Amino acid sequence: MSVFTIILIVIVAFLAGMEGILDEFEFHQPLVACTLIGLVSGHLEAGIILGGTLQMMALGWANIGAAVAPDAALASTASAILMVIALNGGTEQSEAISTAIAVAVPLSVAGLFLTMIVRTLAIPIVHGMDAAAAKGNFGTIDALQIVAICMQGVRIAIPAAALCFIPQEAVTAALNAMPAWLTDGMSIGGGMVAAVGYAMVINMMATREVWPFFVLGFVLAAISELTLIALGAIGICLALIYLGLKELAKSGAGAAGSGDPLGDILDDYE
């Protein structure tokens, strides 16, 4: 990879590391991080495929208070970089993506260890902000906050930069040396993580009102002739119909008559 490409990858990794804690601009989401790394490295299609697949695995991952989810930032950036290195080394796209997906879950656990170290190092910074707050020094508080969040970006940027300087032959040989039982096992584990993510999302969202839409979505997805644009259009139409009927029911307009005389007469006979 060229120096310019490496710099762009490190910038993406830095933003992903900060967003892994901020959860504000979503740079740490696999669909965003992998796509950006694929874009700057010249493998946009592979980056989108990898990001979309990893995003399905990370659907149920969320930071809640002090509880941090598996680190999607390191999993996204590191697996995308390994995929790019493998592609540059002549590996087939499907094989490179499959291997990157297999190592994503262990990388997410490693990211949790790194963020634990950074949070430990941030304790003196918090004490410094407390001291600055006691003096009313808001400029110092802002500066220390920027330093603390930049540490989270550095924890992803440094491993990303290190991976970029590893020779392509070494990465390709290491990936090829992984036994089939290990890669298959990690792929199966990744699939189970995706299923758990779906279950968590459904558990949070599912109500009597939305279950029909879940069912319709799975049924329509089985129709191979429908494109993603068509599925999106159907979803928007269903949502608009549902919202319209809901507002109609709230306003009580349905009880006042349908506006069709024949329909009102037939309703009277029911």
- Is pLDDT of 270 > 60? no
Q: What is the residue extent of each domain of the chain?
A: 3-180
Label residue 93 by pLDDT band (50, 70, 90): confident
Give the relative orientation of helices 72-88 and 44-57 as an angle to the nearest 10 degrees. 150
Q: Say if residues 46 and 85 touch (Cβ distance below 8 Å).
A: no
Radius of gyration of the chain (CA): 25
Q: Considering the entire predicted model, what is its pTM?
A: 0.65
pLDDT of residue 267: 62
Print burial letters for 96-123: b (CB count within 10 Å at least 16), e (below 16). Answer: bbbbbbbbbbebbebbeebbeebbeebe
pLDDT at residue 176 tops 60: yes
What are the pLDDT digits (tens) for 201-252?
A: 677 667 777 778 878 888 887 887 888 788 888 888 888 888 888 777 777 6
Q: What is the chain's length?
A: 270
The token pair that represents 106 in the structure block: 């262990």
Q: Identify the band that residue 14 occupies on the pLDDT scale cut at 50, 70 and 90.
A: very high
Residue 195: predicted pLDDT: 65
Residue 255 reports pLDDT greater than 80: no
Spatial separation of the C-alpha atoms in residues 36 and 242, rounded to whole Å: 36
Instruction: List b or e across 139-173, with b for residues whose CB sees 16 or more CB atoms inside 10 angstroms.
Output: eebeebeeebbebbbbbbbebbbebbeeebeebbe
pLDDT at 56 over 60: yes
What is the pLDDT at residue 241?
Answer: 86
